[in-house]
Amino acid sequence: MTQLLFIPGSLREASSSRATVRALVKRLDQDVTCRVADPGRLPHYNADLGQDPAVEGFVAEVAAADGVVFVTPEYNYSVPGVLKNAIDWASRPAYNSVFKDKPFFIISVSGGALGGVRAQAHLKYILNGMLARPFACQEIVIPQANAKITDGHLTDEAILDFAELNMRAFVSSF
């Protein structure tokens, strides 16, 4: 069975990123094995730290996944520091990390009207530097996401249907 690793870009349990992850996992769970990483467990990136169990576990999760799904909010026109930190840990060794040739899919959320499009652009740029493989599709953006959450799940059926359709295409591309 295909294994997807979801990486939410927010630490907050009640965030729209995590609500989106929960809604999508619920839709895909019968056909795909879904795991959710916790980037908040990782220490701040510091090459002097050497081996760290949380980092080793995160790198192993990325390595084991057939594809990675990033669900990121937009903070100050870019990706949150916690997400960049996780990516930095898994990006070593440079140009030969677990992200090399790893298929990835991006969804962005925002409390504003643009749905995190700038964060998506920055994330694609970052992942390109690690030679990860983007899935080409129309961007999945969720504007005014906070108003679309009920009981910890995103409830915008039109966006969820569109995201699921593209994610199923993503899964079938492996």
Kindly report the CA angle at 4 between 129 and 118, in degrees rounded to 5? 45
Per-residue pLDDT at 30: 87
Q: pLDDT above 70 covers what percent of the chain?
A: 100
pLDDT grade, residue 1 (50/70/90)?
Answer: confident
Cis peptide before 93 (omega within 30 of 0): yes
3-state secondary structure of 150: strand
User: Cα-flanking dihedrals φ and ψ of residue 18, to 5°?
Assistant: -70, -35
Query: Would the pLDDT of 29 be above 80?
Result: no
* Residue 8, token pair as written in the block: 């939410």
Q: pLDDT above 90 covers what percent of the chain?
A: 95
For residue 68, give every residue at least 6 positions away whose Cβ sits within 8 Å of its Cβ, in sequence order, or none: 4, 5, 6, 7, 62, 99, 102, 103, 104, 105, 132
- Entry pTM: 0.96
DSSP bridge partners of 103: 133
- Per CATH, the architecture of 3-172 is what? 3-Layer(aba) Sandwich (3.40)
Per-residue pLDDT at 132: 97
Distance CA 33, CA 27 (A): 11
Distance CA 98, CA 56 (A): 11
Of 71, 88, 38, 87, nearest in space to 141 by CA: 71
Of 73, 64, 79, 74, nearest in space to 34 by CA: 64
User: Cα-flanking dihedrals φ and ψ of residue 83, to 5°?
Assistant: -70, -45
* Residue 12, token pair as written in the block: 């907050």
Please report, for the chain, the start and end positions of each structural domain, with discontinuous segments joined by +. Answer: 3-172
pLDDT grade, residue 50 (50/70/90)?
Answer: confident
Q: What is the pLDDT of residues 59-97, one digit of tens each?
A: 999 999 999 999 999 999 999 999 999 999 999 999 999
Cβ atoms within 10 Å, residue 150: 9
- C-alpha neighbours within 13 Å on the C-beta side of residue 171: 18
Q: What is the pLDDT of residues 87-139, one digit of tens each?
A: 999 999 999 999 999 999 999 999 999 999 999 999 999 999 999 999 999 99
